Structure 1
């Protein structure tokens, strides 16, 4: 079999057979996290602030605490409204019914807008933000039985993560996508979304393979916005979800993809990675060893590379550090992440926007040193650029740390050294960030995160209804039961 056919056979077996209990039990948490992130992002849009007076805590005239990229989601929603079309699926928050590909576009953008979505390591992918919106949109449009979205999401995330793992070469200590400035999430996520959508459309293995083959010509994404600003990055996940749904629909209508779309001379791995990839990581143990279960949740709404710095800062504060005594700070991180969170220094020391600040090592470290909310640093900490944090960020120097570099990207590590005005120094090291593989969020912490996010848009009773509907997926509940509870209701 060709690579794509093996992936397709695996995916169809997920739908038509029995998922492992651990996998089936894991998926509702993915859905819960995505929906919470979507609702918090929607609450910060212009549309959300107009409608979100029913019980949300921060959906006020300022746009809440979600920052400029929430408005990127609002722009996508306005664009989708201009396009029009059949009301097949729900756009989260607004309650608009739009074509399934358009719903996937809106919801995928919302899911990634806060940079609060889950991460697979060591591929450093955010698979759920692409796959879950695509699956829910199609499941709602075809009225799929409740168990089918669970299987489709599991298969789609697994295929996405496997493609990411194929691009990770241990000798490089990084994904080759990232080495070339390409966003692995949106590129691999398009194929994962196509798998999920294809399963829900009832496609067989041959047609699912065609859906992936078509989707492989649609995925894209550049990482320059992480470095120097711009609001396009959240749309990477939205477009991946949209393209995945579109590819599956076209395959259902008879469009075909090349059988060697992945390993061929002009295929996916050659085009994106110059032919360097790990076939075993892609295919070995399919259905037995699940990369889905190695995908971790974020405790802080910022680029994941900043999380160990945040952990170090919070530990120093718990140890009694008075920020007023700080003269300067050295932040040691893995060498490969410097270009994302530390370069160019003048932009990272003084971010251009609250969203840009989420990708700044100096700013996130300063924010944590000066105090944060939520699980340690919260959405409100990125509502605006705080002058005191900017001033402290200007005294932070980021450098490569050998130990953090050795651990990367299987764990995100850092060391923070603080020099005080009296000349003394303090040091804090973290070898695996909170929420990472060594310290995953508990079910209770994930529930707290979801409720905090969802309550920005919905009243407490509706948040509880939504949580119960998500838990019902796979046991009689449907995507429509879930998405019907994501619309902000008039007061």
Structure 2
């Protein structure tokens, strides 16, 4: 089936003409929270994840025009390279926000928007909020309406389009240029699931840097007159046919485009690890706390898993005792064990010493798997179930609900600010409490700012 007007042009029109006043209040609030939350996670990663140092060194070695801030490390770099650095930091703790259906886009969108905003030389708070909101909306429309076979990493394959839409809007491109930018961005749409499910690679934590960089590159190329692809999404050899075998729902993608902004459902994590583990962690915590269980009394911990949960458990021995920080954040047995021992989780739990914590490793060694196809991931991932049996025979089964930060227990502004403050406190470059507090207040009331880049400069 072919259409006279490809989705790329529908998206470009909506992105170019959406105004701040058209956004729902919840979409505005989500965009503002995402900016502050993403900045906080970037700062925490600068101090807590050694693997990012290589990218920072490459950015610094490349030199170039000082256009945009390298958050957490100070100094400036060309906008494209700042987006690479900040994007790589934004996801590497797996603490960035997510959609209700999983996957991440703000870690690609926010660094791209902030890089082009600084290059442009300033942007109002309302314009920056609008840019982030339309990017989140484009991502969500694609995420929920493609036939995903868990073969591509949707957080990069799709987020480059959300980030490009947002960056192009923030840079002031017109409708035609935005369409070109989205076409150019198709050259940067990539990411295989082996990067996620495999072990030993730092790329799983850094992937948002590539889509953020690609978004800025696409935006700048379009601004210089480079043309895109007229039937980029729906052509015979276009995106949907190439990546998803033609499996997508056009009507749902277009439904209420420009009036209903799906980013308003964005969720903010309270635990710094893969979100698909959080329900199992919460179920285990509930059993331990409600029944006053001592760790030494535990005989077995059964994790009920669907297809995607199982990815986080194979091979079991390595997932129980992960070798790297990146692997630890995607290892379900280790994460549940950490949650049990710590009664939660914080950024300080993921250190070289934390990977060797004998209390956590001893609990992880008691894990067993129960495969349940009813927990397979289609659109929304079903909540995990955990069964804990004690040496005296007592046993409890719990389903992980009311996970901190999930839709049934969302984080309000006070909680987002508390998380930001915690993250900023471990930045590689120390930031004063006054600057942290000022940044939080500015983000919460960003629509009042005449130059939203002040938010970045406070933290650079």
SS at match of 1:370: helix
What is the aligned partner in structure 2 of residue 461 from structure 1?
434
Residue 479 of structure 1, CA deviation: 3.4
What is the aligned partner in structure 2 of residue 377 from structure 1?
345
1:130 and 2:108 equivalent? Answer: yes
1:220 and 2:190 equivalent? Answer: yes
The answer to whether the 8 Å contact 1:121/1:409 transfers is no
1:83 and 2:62 equivalent? Answer: yes
Q: 1:429 aligns with which of 371, 375, 399?
A: 399
* Further displaced range: 156-165 or 471-480: 471-480
What is the aligned partner in structure 2 of residue 362 from structure 1?
333
Q: 1:342 aligns with which of 298, 313, 319?
A: 313
Q: Deviations over 1:158-189 (max 9, x none)?
A: 1122121222x5xxxxx33xx21x21111111
- In structure 2, what is the Cα distance between the partners aligned to 1:264 and 1:159? 19
What is the aligned partner in structure 1 of residue 117 from structure 2?
139
Q: 2:36 aligns with which of 27, 32, 39?
A: 32
SS at match of 2:227: coil
The answer to whether the 8 Å contact 2:300/2:366 transfers is yes
- In structure 2, what is the Cα distance between the partners aligned to 1:25 and 1:16? 12
- In structure 1, what is the Cα distance between the partners aligned to 2:459 and 2:369? 41
The answer to whether the 8 Å contact 1:100/1:137 transfers is yes
Moved over 3 A (4+): 15-18, 401-406, 431-434
The answer to whether the 8 Å contact 1:135/1:200 transfers is yes
Residue 397 of structure 1, CA deviation: 1.3
- In structure 2, what is the Cα distance between the partners aligned to 1:415 and 1:462? 42
1:163 and 2:142 equivalent? Answer: yes
1:183 and 2:153 equivalent? Answer: yes
5+ long unaligned stretches in structure 1: 45-69, 170-174
The answer to whether the 8 Å contact 2:195/2:201 transfers is yes
SS at match of 1:217: helix
Q: Deviations over 1:372-404 (max 9, x none)?
A: 4xxx21112222211221222122012233554
SS at match of 1:479: coil
SS at match of 1:126: coil
The answer to whether the 8 Å contact 1:12/1:205 transfers is yes
Matches within 5 A, 1:53-64: none
What is the aligned partner in structure 1 of residue 129 from structure 2?
150
What is the aligned partner in structure 2 of residue 296 from structure 1?
267
Residue 446 of structure 1, CA deviation: 1.6
Q: 2:72 aligns with which of 90, 93, 117?
A: 93
Q: 2:453 aligns with which of 480, 487, 490?
A: 480
SS at match of 1:117: coil
1:399 and 2:346 equivalent? Answer: no
Aligned length: 447
Normalised TM-score (structure 1): 0.87
- In structure 1, what is the Cα distance between the partners aligned to 2:246 and 2:13? 24
Residue 251 of structure 1, CA deviation: 0.8
